[in-house]
Amino acid sequence: MTRARLLVIAGLLVVPAWPWPAWAEGGSVTLAQFRQRDQQVENRLLKEFEAATGIRVQQRIMPASTDLQHQQYVTWLAGRDRSVDVYLIDLIWVAEFAAAGWILPLESRLPAEARDGILPAPLASAHYRGKLYAIPRFTESGLLYYRKDLVPTAPATWEELRGLARAKRGREVAGYVFQGKQYEGLVVNFLELLWSAGGEVLAPDGRVLLNGPAGAAALTYLVELVGSGAAPRGVITYMERESLQEFLEGRALFHRNWSYAWSLVHREGSKVRGKVGVAPLPSWDGRRPGVAALGGWHLALSAYSERRDAGWRLIRFLTDTRAQKAKAIGEGRLPTLASLYADPDVLEANPHFAALQQGLAHARHRPITPFYPRLSAVLQTHLSRALVGSSSPQEALDAAAREIATFVARE
Ligand code: GLC
């Protein structure tokens, strides 16, 4: 047997069956993210990426709670972990991660025309000190869902909502369900009320304002919602998922959640399909419109990644039109690319998107500062104390403001 022939036979023994796995050539990249709403849609996208690039994607699945994800990410990044290349991050961490040098600026990587297509609010939230550090993957804002079969129109003010919730709740149907557990979601619910009431967390010069009259009114409102029975006591244990579940089971009249909940309400088999209306969050005083928080998640490249180019290719792939369209149709996720709000397939699957785009433009970002996660942790503790009745709203906010002032002053 000739040498060449021997080599061919040897080759046949080790070469795996056709098709040769594409990733064998392109190496691999690791993506940390929470379990996606429809993991099949996600896996299909990742397979397409692997086939197109030859780069294999490993996923690290994170817990659903944003705070638990944050803890894990901080542990990895502070430890200069090299095993994760791309992180799906909550937009509230951009400033902290960028200031710490944990994620790379992406200025030079994203072509200007690609930037122009991104909605202004999510794009702004991906910047820190004028530089782009992440690419928005999907966006969301707070909305009010209501049972239009039981309450014909959405309440115009928060006061009206509380009155209706109390008057119309029944033995089987609670009034208003929101996110009242001690975590970021509770802070979001409080901030939306605070902003609607004309308040602010911090003054431009860094003074802490959240314990002013608007803050006290907002927290008193939340506490009284629970105290008066307008919201069931269970809300103090609810995150997004639990509160939505109550609403989907038909056990609540009103529900605050992010925009993604709409597609779940309308899903086949939903007990409340066809019975739900959606509206902007109510106004505080009937004059100024209510204020919704801006939510959403971005993809960022770890400063400790040894596969930066491969990581960047994955970020581009997952944030481009094709992938965002798949997520919008398959999961009801709001795209961050303006063009998709006029895409006929996206609109057919989500006729409400056109209206939501408006709300997004007015949604407010939580304070953009590297210490936001600390500020939020302090608020979470004190808001929760007020909700369970261990301190009055004013005491809780004063205590939070004192603690926050100690680290704001040091920044
Ligand atoms: C959603 C939002 C995120 C927010 C979180 C609070 O995931 O996208 O921005 O911090 O909810 O629970």
- pLDDT tens sequence across 207-223: 999 999 999 999 999 99
How far away, in angstroms, is 90 Cα from ligand 1 center?
A: 7
3 pLDDT more than 70: no
- One domain, residues 330 and 401: no
Nearest ligand 1 atom, CA 139: 8
Token representation of residue 178? 């929101």
Q: Give the total number of structural domains in the chain.
A: 2
Nearest ligand 1 atom, CA 183: 12
How far away, in angstroms, is 66 Cα from ligand 1 center?
A: 7
9 pLDDT more than 80: no
User: Do 211 and 392 meet the contact criterion of CB atoms below 8 Å apart?
Assistant: no
How far away, in angstroms, is 2 Cα from ligand 1 center?
A: 65
| DSSP-derived pairing of the beta strands 86-90 and 28-34 | parallel
- One domain, residues 29 and 149: no
- One domain, residues 159 and 80: no
CATH at 118: 3.40.190.10
pLDDT, average across residues 229-250:
97
Residue of 71, 90, 92 best suited for mutating to test ligand 1, as the one with most atoms within 8 Å of CB = 90
Give pLDDT tens digits for 57-99.
999 999 999 999 999 999 999 999 999 999 999 999 999 999 9
Q: Burial, 20: exposed, middle or buried (Cβ in 10 Å; 0-12, 13-18, 19+)?
A: exposed
- One domain, residues 336 and 375: no
Q: Is the CB of 230 under 6 A from ligand 1?
A: no
How far away, in angstroms, is 26 Cα from ligand 1 center?
A: 34
Nearest ligand 1 atom, CA 91: 9
Residue 54: left (phi > 0), alpha (psi -120 to 50), or beta? left
Q: Is the CB of 188 under 6 A from ligand 1?
A: yes
Q: What is the 3-state secondary structure (H, E, C) of the chain?
A: CCHHHHHHHHHHHHCCCCCCCCHHHHCEEEEEEECCCCHHHHHHHHHHHHHHHCCEEEEEEECCCHHHHHHHHHHHHHCCCCCCCEEEEEHHHHHHHHHCCCECCCCCCCCHHHHHCECHHHHHHCEECCEECCEEEEEEEEEEEEECCCCCCCCCEHHHHHHHHHHHCCCCCEEEECCCCCCHHHHHHHHHHHHHCCCCCECCCCCECCCCHHHHHHHHHHHHHHHCCCCCHHHHHCCHHHHHHHHHCCCEEEEEEECCHHHHHCCCCCCCCCCEEEECCCECCCCCCCCCEEEEEEEEEECCCCCHHHHHHHHHHHHCHHHHHHHHHHHCCECCEHHHHHCHHHHHHCCCHHHHHHHHHHCECCCCCCCHHHHHHHHHHHHHHHHCCCCCHHHHHHHHHHHHHHHHHHC
Q: Is the CB of 184 under 6 A from ligand 1?
A: yes
- One domain, residues 185 and 238: yes
How far away, in angstroms, is 46 Cα from ligand 1 center?
A: 23
Give pLDDT tens digits for 51-68.
999 999 999 999 999 999
How far, in Å, are 121, 296, 301, 360 from residue 126 at the CA level?
9, 10, 12, 15
At residue 25, the pLDDT reads 56
How far away, in angstroms, is 65 Cα from ligand 1 center?
A: 9
- One domain, residues 194 and 283: yes
How far is Cα 391 from Cα 91, in angstroms, rounded to an integer?
Answer: 31
367 contacts: CB under 8 Å, gap ≥ 6? 201, 202, 375
Confidence bin at 373 (pLDDT 50/70/90): very high
Measured in whole angstroms, the distance separating CA 331 from the mean position of its chain's CA atoms is 14
Strand partners, 56: 28
134 contacts: CB under 8 Å, gap ≥ 6? 89, 91, 94, 103, 106, 126, 298, 299, 300
Measured in whole angstroms, the distance separating CA 296 from the mean position of its chain's CA atoms is 4
Question: What's the length of the chain?
Answer: 411
Q: Which residue's CA is the nearest one to ligand 1's atom 1?
A: 295
- One domain, residues 255 and 391: yes
- One domain, residues 9 and 126: yes
- One domain, residues 183 and 211: yes
Q: Which domain holds residue 179?
A: 141-293+367-408
Token representation of residue 40? 């099949």
- One domain, residues 109 and 145: no
At residue 238, the pLDDT reads 98
How far away, in angstroms, is 295 Cα from ligand 1 center?
A: 5
- One domain, residues 270 and 326: no
How far is Cα 385 from Cα 394, in angstroms, rounded to an integer?
Answer: 11
The chain-wide mean pLDDT, for the chain, equals 93
Residue of 258, 299, 364 best suited for mutating to test ligand 1, as the one with most atoms within 8 Å of CB = 258
Give pLDDT tens digits for 279-288.
999 999 999 9
Closest among 408, 14, 395, 18 to 211, alpha carbons compared: 395
HSE at residue 36, side-chain half, CA atoms within 13 A, is 25
Closest among 294, 267, 244, 392 to 92, alpha carbons compared: 294
The percentage of the chain sitting over the pLDDT mark of 70, rounded to a whole number, equals 93
- One domain, residues 158 and 186: yes
Nearest 5°: CA angle at 239, between 236 and 243?
85
Residue of 91, 184, 190, 333 best suited for mutating to test ligand 1, as the one with most atoms within 8 Å of CB = 184
Q: Is the CB of 282 under 6 A from ligand 1?
A: no
Q: Is the CB of 246 under 6 A from ligand 1?
A: no
Q: Is the CB of 91 under 6 A from ligand 1?
A: yes
